[in-house]
Amino acid sequence: FALYGRFDQTIIFPILAIGSAMITMIGQNFGRRMYTRVISIWWTGILTAIGVVVFVGTLLFVFAPKIYPFFTDVEGVEWYAVRQTRIVVYSWILASFTVLGRASFQAIGRAIPGMIVVILRVIGIALPAAYFYVKVLQLGIYGVWFGIVTGSAVAAVVSGLWVRKT
């Protein structure tokens, strides 16, 4: 889990950078009531984040079996890291909606909705889903990974709809 976690930072950091840039751009245009530009910035950010996830995620997906052995001698750790990468890495497309939604809400001076969606993603959905997958469906570690993906999917829908409505 920790080994994959180091590599998913190569996806998370660019998404956070896009969100940081969006805060300034959306804030300025929202303040000037240039709402069509705000929407354009939102979609540009989302599409850029998706491009980053697809590009970096594909590199990780393909090269995970070659990369992870450099960082561990334990075959089981390598095996789990590769499996987790291949199950979770593209869920960052969904998580991008949450991260960029949070940034957008912050830009317009409404940080609470962004915080709610982030909390929903992790505590409200991912943890209960992981518990259900692990304990009820008995999926083991796969249940944890599916819980992460489920949290990202639900939060992406909520975030996307909430940003759109706002």
The residue whose two tokens read 């999917």 is 153
pLDDT of residue 139: 94
pLDDT of residue 63: 95
- As a whole number of angstroms, the distance between CA 26 and CA 112 comes to 17
pLDDT of residue 45: 97
pLDDT of residue 114: 87
For 45, residues 6+ apart whose C-beta sits below 8 A from its C-beta are 18, 19, 21, 22, 100, 103
Kindly give the parts of the chain with pLDDT less than 50.
none
pLDDT of residue 62: 96
pLDDT of residue 52: 95
